[in-house]
């Protein structure tokens, strides 16, 4: 069963649109990464610097491998001028019986 992964970014308000442009350029590679089934970008209506990605992956190991690849390629370092804090990641299992 697939897992839900979330990525939460806290972006400097004056950098929000530039950050979203960078994401738009980077996310095709994410969507093409092995095990990625879905990536959606959401922006908080009350705080445009709060960007939330909802991702569906075949398994957690796929996402963790992907994050390692992003670290190796320097993408995480490119985030530093845009964010006020490190990104937060979460992993969730579906509970359809509830």
Q: Write down the pTM of the prediction.
A: 0.92
Every domain of the chain and the residues it spans: 3-92
Q: What is the pLDDT of residue 88?
A: 96
| Token pair in block for residue 73 | 């390629």
Q: What is the pLDDT of residue 36?
A: 98
Q: What is the pLDDT of residue 1?
A: 84
3-92 carries CATH number 3.30.70.100? yes
SS3 of 26, please?
A: helix
Please give the average pLDDT of every successive group of 10 residues along the chain, which has 98 residues. Answer: 96 95 96 98 96 98 96 90 96 95
């Amino acid at each position: 069963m697939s897992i839900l992964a979330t990525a939460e970014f806290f972006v400097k308000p004056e950098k929000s649109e530039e950050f979203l442009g960078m994401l738009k350029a980077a996310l095709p590679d994410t969507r093409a990464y092995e095990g990625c089934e879905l990536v959606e970008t959401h922006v908080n209506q009350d705080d445009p610097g709060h960007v939330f990605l909802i991702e569906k992956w075949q398994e957690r190991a796929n996402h963790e491998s992907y994050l390692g690849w992003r670290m190796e390629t320097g993408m995480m370092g490119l985030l530093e001028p845009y964010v006020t804090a490190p990104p937060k990641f979460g992993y969730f299992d579906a509970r359809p019986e509830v």
